Chains A and B, each alone.
Chain A
Amino acid sequence: MSSRILLVEDDERIRASMRLALEDEGYDVDEAASGESGLERFTDQPADVVLIDIMLPGMDGFECCRQLRRSSAVPVIMVTARTDTHDVVAGLEAGADDYVTKPFVAKELAARIRALLRRSRSTDDPSVLSFGDVEVRPDEGAVRRGGEEVHCTRTEFRLLCELAANPGKVLSREQLLDRVWGYDYFGDGRLVDVHIRRLRTKIEPDPANPRHILTVRGMGYKLAV
């Protein structure tokens, strides 16, 4: 069965061309012209990956992503016309896993989608990784803090697994981008930074003064047990 992609984009021609390109890559494509209809469609028929354009009439892409996140951990890719820090970071903070900038090449987009799908289906490692009162179960795809389940997106989960699998070892942004997102050298370090920030709010007792996920200046991040 091929993967389903939900495309939330108001520009009809962009939608049409993307459908052609993504269908060529072997995906099933579902379309929505606004944030509201996108959410409806997702409820009716969940997709494997959601592409959301930031500039939407009515509910904007950020809000659409936030609402989607309330009920689902589905991988989300933001489509932005600007590479400005504000848009990219705001999109990631709204819960997006990755972003592409217009105009993008369909092959690049397909590669990003593949990386996200690969990640969502991975892990058959049965061991339990734990630190502090946090317990990570890669086989179940579950994180528990003090016995209670913590809801993570799949990207956050993969990131946490990478850190937890290498306790005390510094992982650079490049390494994390490569292992979690499948990017090579030129991935955007902000992806890592924002996801780390999101993870901290979920598993740290005091996210402003992290005890587990530490920043190592000039190097990257490490997990302190």
Chain B
Amino acid sequence: MRGYRLREEGAGARGAEVRRRRRPWGRLGLRSRVTVTFGLGALALSATMAGLTYFTARQFILNERQTAILRQAYVNASLARTSLRSADLNVTQLLDSLDTLPGSLSVLERGGEWYATSISVGENAIPLRLRTMVLSGAPATQHFVLGGTPEMVVGLPIPSVNAAYFEVFSLDELARTLRILALALAGAALVTTIAGAVIGRWASGRTLRPLAQVSRAAETIAGGRLGTRLVAVGDPDLSALASSFNHMTDALQERIEHEVRFTSDVSHELRSPLTTLVTALGVLESHRDEIPERSRHALDLLTAELRRFRRLVDDLLEISRVDTGSAELSLEEVEVGELARHAAAAGGAGDVPVEVDPAVLGVRLLVDKRRIERVVTNLVANAAQYAGGATRVAVEPAPGAVRLVVADRGPGVLLAERERIFERFYRGHSAGQRGATEGSGLGLSLVAEHVRLHGGRVWVESDTEGENRFVVELPVSGDGRAGDDDAAGETAPETTVSLAGPGDEVAPPRPEAHTP
């Protein structure tokens, strides 16, 4: 059986080449190949069986028939001989009195005269070679076709009365029987083939089910839930697969966590010196009147850069928390318009108008206030930095959701960059225009992460009138699950995927218990 082709990094080009050279057979899926193989196997087997059955049966039936025919011909010939010898009997009457099988005809030759029981058959009905052989004194049989039907003729010389007896038997019925047999056998072979293919498909489906589960587990892991593991249910073959899969995931998780912990530790370690810096600069700031002009300018530079540095550390920490999955949502129900107004104000966009669509007035969202505030703040800051400032913040209705829109009238985002600007540290075409920037390069990616944690989406669009809109769509929660004693958020629980063998019952994987 074909298996996986192990490929290490760097062998990509060769892998592609191998893929191109594959034969058409290789292009079929594993399951289709098993199905076809099972079908072909069943076909070969059933065809052989049918063939053997047919030829054995045919041989047997033919032999039986031939024996019967010969016996009757001999009986009739000796009857004819007795009759011809004893009396000057009318030959036609004699032929009529002979006991014949249905469908058989008798022909008698005596002294060059030919007699027959039917006018349709006469001397000419009998093949010439047989006629010659019999008339020269040798008994013979021959198969031939007369008027489209298979016939068998038996010729017996009766030398004692100078005559020869021929009997022509129709094999039409026999041929029909064999034809029906052949048809039945072919039908059976066809059914067997189809059954084989069906069984192949079913069996391969059962066999491949654990693989489907592995693939589902892998997808779950790729989706960020590193705690997912396979549980083999009592099958030694599958246990091996499960344990090596889990081993791989363990190693992977460890490495990722190590890296993320490092980022988190670095951010934490930076906090102590940052605290001193921020506090000490704050003191200097409050005494700026006592500072000479040039030093004041230097102080401003320090303050601005420190603010950016602080933001970078905050963002790094925030993102590492999202990465470890330890980001916990403190969900609270808030009125969406109020949320937008406060967030816009906190984002330093105090003079930016906040427009709340009447359709969403009073709509309450179950969100982590701090994070959504951060989303709006970051979008406003982004607009301030790259688009000359936000022109408005709007709250709009959407089916089953609410949209928070931060609009600007800047140069807009190139189509090709509309997805990429949400990547970490991505600098778009406008990177060169960065003046005194406050950004950490993580702002928009944090927006994307926070929105994702809330089960929403974010995108950027432009209209023909030159307005660019960053749109955050948040689902409106169905149930009001807020106000619990501890508003401590939810974390993604560890998931296990049962790796069940073909015979085992499979428990459905636990539903995504991420965020509302």
Contact = CB atoms under 8 A, between A and B. Distances in A.
A85 B272 contact: no
Nearest to A217: B483
B370 interface: yes
A106 B342 CA distance: 23
Interface residues of B, number: 39
B283 A85 contact: no
A147 interface: no
A218 B483 contact: yes
B276 A11 contact: yes
A183 to B, nearest CB: 12
A44 interface: no
Nearest to B267: A81
B485 A104 contact: no
Contacts of A194: 486
A189 interface: yes
Interface size class of A (residues with CB under 8 A): 35 or more
B483 A215 contact: yes
A46 interface: no
Contacts of A215: 483-485
A60 interface: no
Interface string A71-105: 00000000001101100010000000000001111
B330 interface: yes
B373 interface: yes
A17 B487 CA distance: 35
B278 A105 contact: yes
B487 A103 contact: no
B286 A14 contact: no
Contact of A17 (B283, B330, B483, B484): B283
Given A82-B268, A218-B482, A189 B330 contact: yes
Interface string A146-163: 000000000000000000
Contacts of A186: 342, 346, 369-370, 373
Interface in A1-30: 11, 13-14, 16-18, 20-21, 24
B310 interface: yes
A193 B271 contact: no
B280 interface: yes
B488 interface: yes
Contact of B310 (A17, A103, A219): A103
Nearest to A13: B276
Given A173-B332, A189-B332, A102 B486 contact: no
Contacts, number: 105
A107 interface: yes
A193 B331 CA distance: 13
B275 interface: yes
A222 B328 CA distance: 27
A118 interface: no
B482 A81 contact: no
Contact of B283 (A11, A13, A20, A189): A20
B282 interface: yes
Nearest to B373: A186
Given A20-B283, A102-B271, A106-B282, A189 B487 contact: yes
B278 A104 contact: yes
A20 B279 CA distance: 8
Contact of B271 (A18, A81, A85, A188): A81
Interface in A190-222: 190, 193-194, 196-197, 215-220
B195 interface: no
Interface of B: 268, 271-280, 282-283, 286-287, 310, 321, 326, 328, 330, 332-333, 338, 342, 346, 364, 369-370, 373, 480-489
Interface of A: 11, 13-14, 16-18, 20-21, 24, 81-82, 84-85, 89, 102-107, 173, 185-186, 188-190, 193-194, 196-197, 215-220
Given A103-B271, A189-B332, 18 more contacts: A14-B276, A20-B279, A21-B282, A21-B283, A24-B286, A81-B268, A84-B328, A102-B271, A103-B277, A104-B275, A104-B278, A106-B283, A185-B338, A188-B370, A193-B485, A217-B481, A217-B482, A218-B333
